Chain A
Amino acid sequence: MASSAPPPALTLPPSQFARLQPHAYLLAHLSPPASSNQPSLRANGRQPAQFRPTSANTGSLTHTNGSAVVRVGDTTAVCGVRAELLPTSDIASWSVSHASSGAHKRATTTKNDADADADESHIQDLNLLVPNLSLSTGCAPGFVPGAPPSALAQSLSHQILGLLHSTRLVRAEDLRVWYQVPSFGGDGDMDVDAEEDEGRKKKNDGKEIKAFWVLYIDIMIISLAGNAFDAAWAAVLAALRDTRLPRAWWDADNEMVVCSEAVAEATRLSLRGLPIASSFCVFEADAAAGWRAVIVPDAEEEKKIEEDQRRGMQRRWILADPDGYEEGLSQERVCLVVDREMGKTVIVKMEKNGGWAVDGRELKQLVDTAAERWESLKLILEQC
């Protein structure tokens, strides 16, 4: 550890040393000399498995159906959910493909929520959830405002969209605006107009979908200091929990969907579960590990690594909730999205890329850490 102790002639304040030798700086924090009797802490003073303090606030934006501000350390995400209507008459293929089949599904699925898979296809097919994340808010020096979204912003938007679809967080039933077709007494006067149409309506118990709510979920990262995904997802979750949709009905006279402005009649979304994301990064003691060709260690090396660990020499650290400084120093990322149902942890999404350091055993530990994070974030989201 020669690099961690600069010669006394040239002394640097810690902040400058952190900029000049970021890797050595973080390594020196994580592996203090045994004589100093200091605990292994990160440069930001956290334990390796410690998340940053998180706070959330909902419902502060006026022009949204639901909004949230989530602060994870110095990363701040603002999410606003705006609901707009998509009349089925505007959907090009609606009358051909969905009108009859949708009703069939409804008849079967309302009885049994378990096989709601087909039920949710509306959300995905009709793009009813539109998440967009913006980084061009001056949140960090690298992002040019006014430019098209960077690769990171695009990838984060798509990750959020994918997660919204795969977790089936929003129920399609909440987004539908139904219309009870009035029955005009006898059949006699109706089958003159459109016999076929009438037949279809009968099949649907006289109910048809007139419109869908489309949720525009816009996330502005106001301040970026690493781990944007966790903060953005938490903001989306908090905003969706806060979202209230007005009661909407089909007004046959005006031939449009109208809404009631009364707050008492508005309904909240009933979300499925509470999937919470936790990200980790792996910091390697070997500074060159990032750019050297990746060679999977053979049995001998594996033994050596284990021996080192037994002697208390750690070669890699898994850091929870990395800040911007740590993200820049690590290649390997793990992102876990977990939910808990009746005391059981359910892995909703698991993503790991950029290296081979995290193996099955460590992943299991990470899932436990993520479950702990789930508990603490759940409290925060419920309090706001």
Chain B
Amino acid sequence: MSYYNEFTANTQLRLSPFFERTSKLNESQEWRRWSGYLAATNYELTHDNEYFAIRTKAALLDITPLKKYIIEGPDAQRFLDRLVTRNIGICKVGQVMYTPWCDEDGKQIDDGTVQRLSENKFRITSAEPNLEWIQFNATGMDLSITDDSYATAALALQGPNSRAILNAVASDKLDSLKFFWLMNTTFGHTPVSISRTGYTGDLGYEIWMDLKDALTVWDLLLEKGKSYGITPTGLHALDIARIEAGLILLDVDYISSRHAIIESRKSSPYELGLGWAVKMKKKDFIGKQALEAEAARGPEWDFVGIEIQWDELEQHFRKAGLAPGLPCTAWRTSTPLFKGNEQVGYATSGAWSPILKRYISLAHVKSQFAREGSELMFELKVEHFRKFTPAKVVKTPFFDPERKRSCPV
């Protein structure tokens, strides 16, 4: 069945270098905004096939809208160590680190990856523009800062078959590329940089290339990837996958302290479940004092995974004469969590996990109620009426396959 209609339209939004391809592949013509870009919501009329591509085949996502900055110079490492909470001193050339960064009050501004491209050259990615903050904190340091966002195109290839596809396309084998490491290689004559990173919690890679090579890379991947089930994938599918992986999203799960207009909207890395990424042994970094004090008194909030319990959920719907109403896409509406009569938290994103067959969600919960196994009540609407149904604090990532980290050799 195919009824293809063609049309062209004008837009004030930025177009990715892959748009020439993605715009024709997007059969639903459903688009979302992502950092001022037009980004595909789903390519097919429903997103199921794309979601399962992430988990069973290989999904290809255009991630060009990510913000990217190149930090280069003799002081680059010293600067990044000051900027972010993780220890960049131990980050080797070719290694990648996921890290949050904070303001002086220890409240999180953004999170992203730091790639060490050479001894004195790094790439840092972020969700929102951070140039102002980066420049502001680099005064007096011997380095250059370049906003590379528009000059570098990026694709994510995620899913169990992603390695096989890259092995078929790249001039080097990727078998020994470890989780959170990167390598430079070529696709034919086209130079690319490949990091074993992603936003799905699966085996997956991100491919970084010059803007002018974007279509060549896209075409090669689709051609060689066809027999491996490569599937152009949109943000609906990605959103479910990242929740399964327990990965936070700026402006959905938290607000940048640079943009929060009231104190209560700000969160520290401890309050976002990123305490593991705060390295107190480091000499100094922005927000260290405040974070030390917070760690000493114990953070007020925690960020946890919760599972909405099936039996009670089913009963609520049964009483209304319905089968359990499950969200078919990931939701982002803040949803209250109660303990008795007291609201002790709120869930910020959630989804039905098709691979786990569990209704999962990410939530801010007051620390004393955030222990694993803690039982809370989740607000639920059944046929226009408000109900409460039990939810349990569980470990994240909800989905964590062996293949994410493993290497065949």
Chains A and B form a bound pair: no
Binding site for A on B (CB under 8 A): none
Binding site for B on A (CB under 8 A): none
